[in-house]
A and B are shown apart, each in its own frame.
Chain A
Amino acid sequence: MITFSGVFKYYSSVAVLQDLSFNIEKGELVFITGPSGAGKTTLLKLIFGSEVPDEGTIKVENFDLSNIKHSEIPFLRRIVSFVFQDFRLRQDLTVFDNIALPLRVIGEKEKDIRQRVLDALKDVALRSKADNLVRTLSGGEQQKVAIARAIIINPHIVLADEPTGNLDPEASQDIMALFKRINAKGCSVVIATHNSELFKNTHYRVFSLKEGKIIQ
């Protein structure tokens, strides 16, 4: 599903990622960990098509990300969703409209959108907040909205960059439980985090990055 072969990424001649080669299978949940500046976010950006590798090849399903055209990126992002640490939600819109946004982008009909958004809100236990403005929600709730928005289009892969970075331990547990539920439905999940509590005592694969290399 995701294949990295000899991938290098440089930022102004400094290697951020070096010779990365790995596979992530369909339906897998993988953690990427490492200290700040290890290259976790860059790795996720490469899978999301926001960055291009300087050397090597990256394949995500049928997309060759080393040679991807600008016009193909929107279609890649309809199978790969991203959950950000800072949520990237529209603060001026309601919870409902934020979650409906990806469906509107792909041209779904309004009557279908309503039901799907309500289902997604039920999944993240925020149905009662559908009409609230996002800016009135807590950090944990906003992250749940971001996750609901990410899964509403039934992506094949969900990427999450420090999804619990701004949350208290209880909210973090909720968010992790949510990711596990998403993964249980067959969706691949890649989570970049420096919080080892999230994957301690779990059976999931963990890639440890240090100075742009996988060390474990």
Chain B
Amino acid sequence: MKRHIISAMKGLWINRWSTLLSMLSIGICFFIVTGVSLLLYNLELFTKKLSTKAAIVIYLKDGISESEISSITDQLKKSGVFSRLQYISKDEALKEMKNIIDPSMIQLIGYNPLSDTIEAFIKEESLQNIEEVIKKIKGFGSVDDIYYPAKIINGLKIIKVTLWNFALVVFCFLLLAVLFIIYATVKSFYWKKTEEIEILKLLGATPSYIRFPFLIEGGILGLGGALFATILMTVVYFVIHSRSFSEFLPAITTVAFPLEIFCVLPLFGIFFGMFSSFFALGRIKYQ
């Protein structure tokens, strides 16, 4: 193992400029992939948060009795779709309204125009069936109307799906680019060592013995690229969280930045580099 590592390091050092160039190219590809992944991750979080925070507001008919209210509440609870239900009487709603609007305006109307409502918070796993749930609730006799910010959530879902499709294309393209860069680099290293490899074959070297230094070289290329991308991501992280930037754009500091990236990315780089090298070397022939 030590011999293979030394051989790989020597190989990379001899070809240091092409090694560096490959690492930078791989790094830029990994940086874009990570950036798009982070964007998707944040969008996913944002959609979930918004969906669960936005409650269905069920407006009840005027003059509804307490037993009818508790019957509706029971039915909603039994459906298992909601994480929390909150009943707000029309008097409580008016009190809240007085905090927002000038009370004299309400006095001008002369009566309480608001309805009794139930705010129902949807469980995350039930979000997909929301349309069906709303339809069902509308069927309850005592329900006057239902409000749900469907347009916003559906719009977000469309953006999410579009971004996912875009991201998949970007991922495929960039990962193929990385594969090709490592493939071409390792293949060129292999060609430069053709004579050496031919001698090794004559001396009884197994295919794995011949391949191993190149797999290590590929792994190091992938790791180097991933580390470069990680450094760029760290810079982005500190820029986002810098004082001047957060003062300029306060919302940006809420961007989630999973620190796992810093472990996953180098590991992925090593694995992907070795895989690409294996692919580049193909079958070692003796005849």
Contact = CB atoms under 8 A, between A and B. Distances in A.
Interface of A: 49-52, 70-71, 73-78, 82, 88-90, 101-102, 104-106, 149, 153
Contacts of A89: 199
A67 to B, nearest CB: 12
Chain B CB count within 10 A is highest, among A51, A101, A153, for A101
Chain A CB count within 10 A is highest, among B199, B202, B203, B284, for B203
Contact of B199 (A49, A52, A88): A88
Given A70-B207, A70-B287, A74-B206, 6 more contacts: A74-B201, A74-B207, A75-B204, A77-B204, A88-B198, A106-B204
The 4 A-B residue pairs with the shortest CB-CB distance, nearest first, are: A77-B204, A73-B286, A78-B204, A102-B203
B16 to A, nearest CB: 17
Contact of A70 (B200, B204, B205, B285): B285
Contacts of B200: 101, 105
A78 B198 CA distance: 15
B55 to A, nearest CB: 66
A102 B199 CA distance: 10
Nearest to B3: A104
Given A88-B202, A102-B203, A74 B286 contact: yes
A192 B206 CA distance: 27
A153 B209 CA distance: 17
A213 to B, nearest CB: 24
A49 B283 CA distance: 17
Contact of A52 (B209, B284, B285, B287): B287
Contact of A105 (B205, B284, B286, B287): B205
A89 B196 CA distance: 9
Contacts of A76: 204
A101 B286 contact: no
A51 B202 contact: no
B217 to A, nearest CB: 18
Contacts of A51: 287
B90 to A, nearest CB: 83
A156 B106 CA distance: 108
Contact of A77 (B3, B203, B283): B203
A81 to B, nearest CB: 8
Contacts of B196: 90
Interface string B3-35: 100000000000000000000000000000000
A101 B199 contact: yes
Contacts of B283: 70
B46 to A, nearest CB: 54
B257 to A, nearest CB: 46
A28 B63 CA distance: 115
A78 B209 CA distance: 14
Interface in B190-235: 196, 198-207, 209
A75 B205 CA distance: 8
